[in-house]
Chains A and B, each alone.
Chain A
């Protein structure tokens, strides 16, 4: 326990270097085919504890599919995903939470949405109430606790979705374009929330289209092109001196079109 607390302290200072941060999740030769179409193929990557990994790439590159594969929402057609060195299972499910591009709000109040997620994870009584109150405060939604979740604005709904995901205390938070179609003010609040989660020791994997957001948030970057890993590495390197043509073209705002590949 002491080791975990120590690690969290270190992580909260955000000083863990990519080289020494222990791997939380690894994917080897990961691929996914749906209806004969290979959406993701031959992806090798390591998600390191306490790091913020941003997944970049053009539309249809397989970013959301990759996130779902890592979270176990889609079965891998090939390769493996390991969570703390073990295949995905109940342990991984307890340690992960995912927020979708379009937040899914239960037809209940804001507070009831939080309580449901906590109840599912087995939190009861005062502990559940404490966590729900903490999540509301963190998301800045305490004044809206009794409001139906579906009448909230897009930004508020996404903040609630993130707070709901964080309330259960995951080690890894997966975010699929959480700021898509939000205005700058709402985006800033979401980014602050993600920053808060990261500062408390939560590892982040986030899909985005936004280069600026990647620069603001990423420690590591994974760039996908046509379902393949085009390049990955520390953000400071990849976003400034990329090795691959795909990333260079994307950073320059040029169209990078490859010939579509069919399944062999």
Chain B
């Protein structure tokens, strides 16, 4: 508790790296997952059902398997080995992006599909083109999609297995809250582990509060 109250240097370094990796992964996942989910939700095309099935299945990807796959890709003998990304925060962002993107895509697909059912005839009547349609649906569903982003954030910030494999939990380089908690617990330093756990919970609480407030305001204004 004194570590949190005194905001230890090591603690802040770990927390900041955790936030950097998680927020970057969620941002990239949203860039890929939101338009992808919106397209699958709004358009009918051959192979749509299998695409939905695959997205749903990928939501449950085991983190260690993702970690292993990304490790194989980034390792010196892997196809992307020349980039030298293994055991860097970038590798951790890649692994988390692989984990979070299907969650963002699958959940946003459902949100956008529901909204599109309401808008579809009106959009067709207006002559709204495919790109405008996607942009409008994502914009109008923005407050509902906050929950989707929150789900992705939750998955990323709590993730241990994949970042441990591709990041290596190197002190001052790739150590994040979850990997530090695992390490400190195994070492028996429960004080730092608990402090980190507390910070993790506080961050999750804060993010949830912000999202709930924004959604509540939007719902009262009938934008959600």
Residues of A participating in the B interface, judged by any CB pair closer than 8 Å: 68, 71, 73, 90, 93-94, 96-98, 100, 104, 106-108, 116-117, 119-121, 148, 150-151
Q: How large is the interface on B (under 10, 10 to 19, 20 to 34, 35 or more residues)?
A: 10 to 19
Partner of B128, one of A98, A120, A150: A120
CB neighbours (8 Å) of A151 from chain B are 221-222
Neighbouring A residues of B141 by C-beta, 8 Å? 107
Determine the chain A residues whose CB is within 8 A of the CB of B5 once the complex forms. none
- B residues in contact (CB < 8 Å) with A: 118-119, 121-122, 124-129, 132, 136, 140-141, 221-224
Q: Are B122's CB and A121's CB within 8 A?
A: no
- A117 contacts which chain B residues (CB < 8 A)? 126
- Contact among A116, A121, A148 for B223, CB-based, below 8 A: A148
Contact B132 A104 (CB under 8 A): no
Q: Which residues of chain B are within 8 angstroms of A119 by Cβ–Cβ distance?
A: 132
- Residue in chain A with minimal CB distance to B119: A104
Task: Using CB atoms, name the residue of chain B closest to A119.
Answer: B132
A contact residues around B125 at 8 Å (CB): 71, 73, 96-98
Q: Decide if A106 touches B119 in the complex (CB within 8 Å).
A: yes
| Residue from A94, A100, A121 within 8 A of B121 (CB atoms) | A100
Residues in B neighbouring A97, C-beta threshold 8 A: 125-126
Question: What residues of B have a CB within 8 angstroms of the CB of A150 in the complex?
Answer: 222-223
The interface residues of chain B lying within 8 Å CB-to-CB of A108 are 140, 223
The smallest C-beta distance from B80 to any residue of chain A, in angstroms, reads 41
Bound Cα distance from A119 to B123, whole angstroms: 12
CA distance A100 to B119 in the complex (A): 11
Q: For the complex, what is the distance from the CA of A127 to the CA of B118, rounded to whole Å?
A: 29
> Can you list 6 pairs linking A and B with CB atoms under 8 Å apart?
A97-B125, A100-B121, A107-B140, A120-B127, A148-B222, A151-B222
A120 to chain B: which residues have CB within 8 Å?
126-129, 132
List residues of chain A with CB within 8 A of the CB of B119: 104, 106
Instruction: Report the bound CA distance from A107 to B219 in whole Å.
Output: 10
Contact A104 B122 (CB under 8 A): yes
Contact A107–B222 (Cβ < 8 Å): yes
With contacts A108-B140, A120-B128 known, is A148 near B121, CB below 8 A? no
Q: A96-B125, A97-B126, A107-B222 are in contact. List 12 more A-B contacts (CB 8 A).
A: A73-B121, A93-B127, A94-B127, A100-B121, A104-B118, A104-B121, A107-B141, A107-B224, A108-B140, A116-B136, A120-B127, A120-B132
Q: Which residues of the partner chain A approach B222 to less than 8 Å between Cβ atoms?
A: 107, 148, 150-151
Pairs of residues from A and B, 7 with the lowest C-beta to C-beta distance, nearest first: A104-B122, A150-B222, A107-B140, A98-B125, A148-B222, A151-B222, A93-B127
Query: How many Å lie between the Cα of A119 and that of B127 in the bound state?
Result: 11
Chain B nearest Cβ from A63, distance in angstroms: 16
Q: How far is the CB of A175 from chain B (nearest CB, A)?
A: 12
Nearest A-chain residue to B121, judged by Cβ: A73
Q: Whole-angstrom distance between the alpha carbons of A157 and B132 in the complex?
A: 23
Distance between Cα atoms of A117 and B128 in the complex (Å): 9
Contacts of B140 in A (CB 8 A): 106-108
How far, in angstroms, from A100 to B124 measured CA to CA in the complex?
A: 12
Shortest beta-carbon distance from B213 to chain A in Å: 18
Smallest CB gap from B126: residue in A: A120
